[in-house]
Structure 1
Amino acid sequence: MEFNQLLNQNQRRWHILMIVMSGVLFTCALLHLSVGEVFINPFSPQSALESRLLYDLRMPRLFAAAAIGAALALSGASLQVLLGNVLAEPGVLGISGGASLGMVLILFAFPAAATPLGFMLAGVIGALGFTLILVSMAKTLRLTTTRLLLVGVALGILSGAVVTWAFYFSDDLSIRQLMYWLMGSLVA
């Protein structure tokens, strides 16, 4: 078998896989639009309530989920390309832990600011803060990619320990708020 034939065969496999996965994605999207407390045929909603549920609630959540998934994939792929390591991703580098730590800090240090917008801003600030820590350590200490990953893992473990400590000392309402935001949800 020649090289070109092997290449064409490999490309055909990828094309088939992409078609199958696109079909699975489309099916999941239709299920998301249809299934809920009220079953709705997404191609022909029957009442005004079904139309409002479909167009004002379920479709925006579907598009938000797709955008969030694309952003997460882009962030992981960007870090892998920038660092030249397939293990690099926001969770391994501790950036996700920084976002969690930011949310925990706002819940306990500034409880009046523990609103949905406050949690989002705290998460972004925490993630950016950990990213700046990593970048500054990489520049000043001239870390290799492997050592940078290890420093990121250590920062992630440190932030995880602080978040666990916060769970231990928080009341039931705070635990529920933290779990809701740390697990992520598109539910209203």
Structure 2
Amino acid sequence: MIRLFTVNYYIINLQMVLMMGEYNHYGKLCTRIMELDKTFLVDKEPLAVLNDTINYIDFDLKGAQPETKLIKENVNICPILGNPLHSICAFPSQAYKSDDTIWFNPIHIVKTSAHGRHTLVDLSNGYSIEVHSRLSSFNQKWQNAQFLRRMTTKREKSPFTLIVDQKKKNLLKKDSSGRYNFEIFLRK
């Protein structure tokens, strides 16, 4: 059963399914949080909730954004590593600063489907939500968030993993004897 209440402070955690801006009865922009078994209003804007979470673990929102450039240049609609300690990534349905942006936790999306010109998102808590975004656009954002989460998880397991410049690639290919040309490592 979903219960409604208001809180002053919130740290994004594994239970968070989604969050979005919602105006309270005084006309103040707050954040509606949906967790697995409850929903409540946080007396802060969505970017403030995201920033509070990142600051809680000694990072900041501006510091979290460069990570997203590994995926896409337009950081305004890319996922943010909201809580790296728990590999929690959040991605916006549209531009960050839009009041009606919905921030999704990708691990709680079960499936998506087209619903006219919009996207129907089935969530892990048994609810669905219609998002004003085309299916292909939404799925790309979801995929980018999953990619960022996987990269973060890999780095946690292997802290010495290096990010290699993807523009500079060396091709490993089989030579006439059927062996791969690992000798290219010797030439560097």
Higher share in strand: 2
Radius of gyration: which is bigger? 1
User: Normalising by the residue count of structure 2, what TM-score does the alignment of the two structures yield?
Assistant: 0.26
Higher share in helix: 1
User: Normalising by the residue count of structure 1, what TM-score does the alignment of the two structures yield?
Assistant: 0.26
